[in-house]
Structure 1
């Protein structure tokens, strides 16, 4: 692999990691499923596949489409607000129930279908995902020659693969400690508050 090709790939990896690693809805959900060891690798894989599709759209011109169509952007934003608000209440309910031994039994592991649906929802109904992957990645890729765009895209994908599998496997390994009632309550409350804050930040932009 030539230095010319390797450089845009490294830039893609660094930029992709910088956009993916900060705590967000995707990371919070993968973390929560990994602690439960409940289809966590599948959730991570879905996030990676969605990232690849959205990043590819950005690199090959999808960012310009979203920026030029306010209706699409507003529909995505409202969908994100509604989903994040509702799902924030679900995590807050788990935070509340975890303090009651007799009610804790009611919180059952999510089914495979539920994990697939929720992972897709936290990704595709989150406007920040489109901003990071489609708009920002797409804008940066425009600075590269056509021959280097694919290398840049591969770099961003490698960042997504590395992060989501590392997060999933590390959290699952630390599950005995992270699944303690006090720690789990703190994580559930943090995720709920994070989702509500993001939902509010989206609302005030409308």
Structure 2
């Protein structure tokens, strides 16, 4: 069980960092707009990447840096556009009410945004496939899959917890100012990650 517990600890510490995925899941949870499918999709993507890492596919990414380059540039462009949308939204008064809770993107749009935020972020591959995959090599036999299972569990608990926990912030977001600050925070997060992705190429 030591490998399983370590997997939970390492996986949890990586996923809890403020990032594009977490900001998007939080906002959709507050809006109650397809929050559970989005949490499930983020968790499944992490699970697939962690499994690939534990299986040893991290060496492929290291062997072909072009994969990382494409994801970095594409991800930076996507995050700049999404951040601009969030900034624009911050100037439009809105509040969390019974009417506005029902409004939002279609499920298809939400799924595509989730895929873009997740798969175009090279940190996803570096953290899950490369880093967790490398750490898993210290375990032998059945302990390695247990380490991966612990990291996968941490991801599911985090994303669903973030999605469900957003409802406790609902009273705060009945005030339009709160949405303004959240959208600007999301914009800052997206643009900061975009700069970090593109900086090595400048």
Give the alignment's TM-score, normalised by structure 1.
0.90
Runs of 4+ in 1 over 3 A off after TM superposition: none
In structure 2, which of residues 119, 137, 142 is the aligned counterpart of residue 142 of structure 1? 137
In structure 2, which of residues 39, 57, 62 is the aligned counterpart of residue 62 of structure 1? 57
CA RMSD in angstroms, aligned pairs only: 1.3
Quote the Cα distance in structure 2 between the aligned partners of 1:23 and 1:173: 19
Q: Equivalent residue of 2:200, what SS? A: coil
Kept after mapping to 2: 8 A contact 1:98/1:181: yes
Per the alignment, residue 27 of structure 1 pairs with 22
Gaps of 5+ in 1: 1-5, 100-104
May I ask how many residue pairs the two structures share in their alignment? 194
1:7-43 Cα shifts (integer Å, max 9, x gaps): 0000000000000011110000000000100010111
Quote the Cα distance in structure 2 between the aligned partners of 1:162 and 1:178: 24
In structure 2, which of residues 108, 111, 122 is the aligned counterpart of residue 116 of structure 1? 111
1:62-109 Cα shifts (integer Å, max 9, x gaps): 21110110111111111111111111101111112238xxxxx9xx51
Query: Per the alignment, do residues 73 and 131 of structure 1 end up closer, same or farther by CA in structure 2, a change over 3 Å counting?
Result: same
1:150-185 Cα shifts (integer Å, max 9, x gaps): 100110011011111111001024323234211111
Matched, 1:164 2:153: no
Q: Equivalent residue of 2:171, what SS? A: helix
Give the alignment's TM-score, normalised by structure 2.
0.92
Kept after mapping to 2: 8 A contact 1:12/1:152: yes
In structure 2, which of residues 38, 41, 45 is the aligned counterpart of residue 46 of structure 1? 41
Per the alignment, residue 92 of structure 1 pairs with 87
Quote the Cα distance in structure 1 between the aligned partners of 2:73 and 2:174: 33
Per the alignment, residue 97 of structure 2 pairs with none
Kept after mapping to 2: 8 A contact 1:81/1:199: yes
